[in-house]
Structure 1
Amino acid sequence: MSFNIRGAVIANVSGNTEGELQATITDAIQNGQEKMLPGLGVLFEIIWNNSNEQDRQEMLHALKSGLQ
């Protein structure tokens, strides 16, 4: 049995306001449950795919800084 995580995450947040999206992300991070990580990954994929090169470089810089 296969489960389409991307489709499920997108269906769950489609039509949400920016505030609702922020609450979803914040809750997933604060909750700290491993099962939330795939959903955050899907959201990051959407952000990455809809970002220009400068925004991507800023995200990479923030990620690298956070890992140090």
Structure 2
Amino acid sequence: MNLNLRNAVIHNVSGNTQDQLKDTIVDAIERGEEKMLPGLGVLFEVIWNNADEKEKSMMLETLEDGLKH
């Protein structure tokens, strides 16, 4: 992924409230457009890099469970 894309995504959502961030995520998922996936990946990267080991474990369990369906 291009570093400029990371910076652009982070710049576009920096300072957003939790509600605005949620709206961004929900909108990207509901649209289902492939072009939105890199942005969601950048947001996930931010979450992952700021999570402690317990939070990472919970995310991985959630992901594993979600992929079983």
Question: Does TM-score exceed 0.5, indicating one fold?
Answer: yes
> Equivalent residue for 1:31?
31
Flag structure 2 segments of 5+ consecutive residues without an equivalent. none
5 Å-filtered alignment, 1:39-58, equals 39-58=39-58
**TM-score between the two structures when normalised by the length of structure 1:** 0.95
Percent identity for Structure 1 against Structure 2: 60
* 1:6 equivalent in alignment to 2:9: no
**TM-score between the two structures when normalised by the length of structure 2:** 0.93
Residue 14 to residue 67, structure 1, CA distance change in 2 (3 Å): same
Whole-Å separation in 2 of the counterparts to 1:64 and 1:47: 17
Runs of 4 or more, structure 1, over 3 Å off, are: none
Aligned residues: 67
Q: Please tell me the root mean square deviation across aligned C-alpha atoms, in Å.
A: 1.2
